[in-house]
A = this chain, B = another copy of it.
Amino acid sequence: MHNLPNDPIERLVALLAKLPGLGRRSARRAVLRMLTRPNETMLPLAEALAAAAAAVRPCQTCGNLDAQSPCGICRDPQRDHHLVCVVEGVADLWALERAHAHRGLYHVLGGVLSPMGGIGPEELSIQPLLARIAAGGIEEVIVALPATVDGAATAHYLTDRLRPSGIAVTRLAQGVPMGGALDVLDEGTLAAALRARRPV
């Protein structure tokens, strides 16, 4: 943290303004709001930040961020430990958890392959995924990578690497999103939804 102002208000505004979604203007507004009741708003937030910074770490098994490792999902006996969903990052894992759509475990790749960005297979958590599979018990891997060029290339590469293990490899369905009007969808999505049409 360089060049932070010494004044406590300006310093707090500068740090808050670095957060995604907050600019200087909204950071100032947030600080003013908090300063009307500092003990009820600023101190709990300060403590929550310090507690999270101290406690949260990547799960050594799946890469999720949690206060314990293995994380709460990996330790949950209610979940299906035969089923592993591969995601690009923790944000996608959280999104799937909010949808309550996946009963199994996860594996966070930590990115997607990007020849332009210098991200090769060694930069991603692919070897640990193969080790998890080699340890036995996993019957299906769901590849839930973003539907982008890099995401599709990564899914393709991953499928090739997983094939020798003989386990089932699936991927998320592509199609029309819920509530999505057809006329605002891109052609690629429409074509994919048409190809993957299903009997009613």
- Say how far A168's CB is from chain B's closest CB, in angstroms: 30
A147 at interface (Cβ–Cβ under 8 A)?
no
A185 at interface (Cβ–Cβ under 8 A)?
no
Docked pose: A43 CA to B41 CA in angstroms:
17
Q: How many residues of chain A are within 8 Å of chain B by beta carbon?
A: 49
Contact A22–B30 (Cβ < 8 Å)? yes
Contact A29–B91 (Cβ < 8 Å)? yes
A101 at interface (Cβ–Cβ under 8 A)?
no
| Residues 39-94 of A at the B interface (beta carbon under 8 Å) | 39-53, 55-56, 65-67, 72, 89-91, 94
Contact B55–A49 (Cβ < 8 Å)? no
| CB-CB under 8 A for A11 and B53, given A20-B29, A30-B19 | no
In the complex, which residues of chain B have a beta carbon less than 8 angstroms from the beta carbon of A91?
A: 28-29, 32
Contact B9–A66 (Cβ < 8 Å)? yes
Docked pose: A72 CA to B9 CA in angstroms:
12
Docked pose: A15 CA to B19 CA in angstroms:
14
In the complex, which residues of chain B have a beta carbon less than 8 angstroms from the beta carbon of A94?
A: 28, 32
In the complex, which residues of chain B have a beta carbon less than 8 angstroms from the beta carbon of A9?
A: 52, 56, 65-67
Q: List the 5 closest A-B pairs by CB distance, nearest first.
A: A21-B26, A46-B49, A38-B53, A42-B53, A19-B30
Known: A28-B94, A35-B65. 8 other contacts (CB 8 A): A8-B55, A12-B49, A19-B34, A28-B91, A32-B94, A42-B49, A45-B46, A45-B49
